[in-house]
Chain A
């Protein structure tokens, strides 16, 4: 896994798909190609109320990416310094081997260029010290650009605070 991690707080997500829209604008993807996508679950009864739930899916940037292994031309690459998995456009011949290989359906077919594209965490922005487009403009701050370590720390802190505030309430 890349050192970065986009965490998605389901309790904050309202399924507005701003992330998808900003991703499409940033990466100029054609119809049907979504580097990130909000998957809707429901509507179903949950905690006594009919609800939709929303799950953000982009790319996991695997430690040992199936897509990189499958790519015959070396277009699909993993960046050494931070583990971002990205496509070098010049080398992609559009064979779709990566699409077949990825267990999560991450690589996206671009019908305009005849090549594959995928989430590279907006690495041009990361290199300028900025967050990916989807995270930068998320409407409810449901998305956070972080690292696995930081995300764990934040989650534990949140849990600890909840625990104490519950104890306080109980007397």
Chain B
């Protein structure tokens, strides 16, 4: 019999709301939730059914037999696999203390589960992928606004002008965002886009700054300079809510549009005209402060300026601007219960919040856990469990990472597919793919907050389990099951919903529970204190940074030009793949089976490279890859670009193994190149050589 079930996609971390039709344990139709997305579903979502059909994923728990990375596995029962992992964790806890255990995940709304587990067994060391993603933006937001990166959201749909620095959102496809920005454009809104190359997003822009790589901060500084000079800011808002504005005025004085035009390689008039435009459009101007802004050594400071520009626009807590995301409490509704365990009061192994007071403790910084593995300081790190997280494709230089990980006694991968890290690990605990699993209930904050839940559409095809089950069973074995007060998902949901008065039936109508029928805004005249900085305002000078000996306003330093014969390696994403997760997906592999190398026409000419030629790219560490050249005028001559996620090396992924080139392998030495103030790795600070392939 045909059934229709609402759920949430899991092909990427956007987790769009979906509706699926199922017949005889097969998904026959999948679309975006009509109530939120009007049916829209991206190509990655389309490939969910192909992921279920894919036999080239772990089909049961695997324990390594040969050497690490050798690829000899023994498929075992869940009992044996979980006993094995718990036994190893117990021994490590006994010998080195519980704090030597790390659990990492990609992050996201269900991470409370993994965090609870690692805290419950006595370790403060939960971490996520953010050190190669949004950490600079996050720390920048904390330093300016006092709230997390997601502590302010954006009402794109009603904006008049959106400014994006390298954020290729029409390839990222967060569908509610994609659709809202498209509506803004259709209503005549303006889009200013900054990048080193043409993208799907620049293609829709009304203004494009084609900048020299690494000069985002210069352009942002000139924008601030010109906004102040032309009085193109909301003086009343600044007066009321921005602290130390005069320090900003003094600081940006030298950074004129003429100076930035030269530094960035753009037109001076274009900067001046841009500021006139935003002066017309404000306050409904949104400067997106960046997402994957772990790119250059000053990305943190660039992001700070973008956050500050929002303050100058006076766009906070209004239609077409930024708003504080609202939760159940703002709608007069009691929130759900969720699993939680207080973080043990032990110093983090990565030094976040202690050695590095400028970094929020939170999930810390994954790359700063490596030194502890080697030196044993502040204490040894001996176990790493990666949940839906692939350190080897996430962070640069997997070969260097292996040297660190070899100091660990236990490496576990919990994932739906083989990750590069998983292939090197000691145990793979296969998670059921999203169509095959339930997840616990989450709160989705926003102007109209809601409760959301992922439902199982079909039974698992292989011997896999959902994460809520895996962690509970591990918790039972580790003697901490009190933190996981459920045995079935139904019990879990019931326990979560109890304080709210809702039941699972309330999800049936639309797939989610709406907590309000109209957008909730705070009073714009009473925003003081909403910014969780010491002063309760937007702060130009950050006490945290200054105390750590770091400048709040950092003088601009010009990025190095590539050494002779070399190019700066920049990377990005495409609509048809999710980072490094989907290269072997039967459908998405068909749609894009390898990456290419973008190179500027003039530079290619000098090297004797024509469009479509095979080229050899070499990193400073000797890693070499061959791929096809895409020769275009529309990439900066100092840069070459490739799509992240290819060059995979898991033999069981026969479709993708060895196809294309791995950008993170080309990022030689970058594991040690990270932003001292923002914390994130600077992924675009490496240079490669390119020549025609022999």
Chain A residues proximal to chain B, CB less than 8 Å: 11-12, 14-18, 20-22, 24-25, 31-32, 42-43, 49-53, 136-141
**Is the Cβ of A138 less than 8 Å from the Cβ of B208?**
no
**Is the Cβ of A14 less than 8 Å from the Cβ of B200?**
yes
* Given A21-B43, A139-B175, 19 extra CB contacts under 8 A: A12-B182, A14-B170, A16-B170, A18-B40, A18-B41, A18-B46, A20-B43, A21-B588, A24-B46, A24-B590, A25-B30, A25-B49, A42-B198, A43-B634, A50-B203, A51-B202, A53-B203, A137-B40, A141-B182
**Is the Cβ of B178 less than 8 Å from the Cβ of A140?**
yes
Question: Closest approach, in angstroms, between the C-beta of B582 and any C-beta of chain A?
Answer: 11
B171 at the interface (CB under 8 A from A): yes
Q: Give the chain A neighbours of B202 by CB distance below 8 A.
A: 49-51
Q: Give the chain B neighbours of A14 by CB distance below 8 A.
A: 170-171, 178, 182, 200, 203-204, 575
Bound Cα distance A22, B587 (Å): 10
**Is the Cβ of B200 less than 8 Å from the Cβ of A25?**
no
**Is the Cβ of B39 less than 8 Å from the Cβ of A136?**
yes
B207 at the interface (CB under 8 A from A): yes
Which residue of the partner chain, among B31, B185, B198, B587, contacts A21 with CB atoms under 8 Å?
B587
A16-B171, A24-B587, A25-B587 known; A139-B42 Cβ under 8 A:
yes
**Is the Cβ of B39 less than 8 Å from the Cβ of A52?**
no
**Is the Cβ of A25 less than 8 Å from the Cβ of B39?**
no
Question: Closest approach, in angstroms, between the C-beta of B197 and any C-beta of chain A?
Answer: 8
**Is the Cβ of B179 less than 8 Å from the Cβ of A140?**
yes
Bound Cα distance A49, B377 (Å): 52
Q: Give the chain B neighbours of A25 by CB distance below 8 A.
A: 30, 46-47, 49-50, 587
Q: Give the chain B neighbours of A32 by CB distance below 8 A.
A: 590
**Is the Cβ of A50 less than 8 Å from the Cβ of B173?**
no
Q: Give the chain B neighbours of A141 by CB distance below 8 A.
A: 38, 40, 179, 182
9 closest A-B pairs by beta carbon, nearest first, are: A21-B46, A21-B43, A16-B575, A51-B203, A50-B198, A14-B170, A50-B634, A43-B198, A137-B41
Q: Give the chain B neighbours of A51 by CB distance below 8 A.
A: 198, 202-204
For chain B, the count of residues having a C-beta within 8 Å of the partner chain is 42
B452 at the interface (CB under 8 A from A): no
B308 at the interface (CB under 8 A from A): no
B441 at the interface (CB under 8 A from A): no
> What residue in chain A is nearest B210 (Cβ atoms)?
A50
**Is the Cβ of A17 less than 8 Å from the Cβ of B576?**
yes
Q: Give the chain B neighbours of A16 by CB distance below 8 A.
A: 42-43, 170-171, 173, 200, 575-576
**Is the Cβ of A49 less than 8 Å from the Cβ of B208?**
yes
**Is the Cβ of B200 less than 8 Å from the Cβ of A15?**
yes
Bound Cα distance A49, B195 (Å): 12
Contact with A along B212-249 (1 / 0, CB 8 A): 00000000000000000000000000000000000000
Question: Closest approach, in angstroms, between the C-beta of B530 and any C-beta of chain A?
Answer: 33
**Is the Cβ of A17 less than 8 Å from the Cβ of B575?**
yes
**Is the Cβ of B208 less than 8 Å from the Cβ of A137?**
no
5 of the cross-chain contacts (CB-CB < 8 Å) are A16-B173, A18-B41, A21-B43, A49-B202, A51-B202
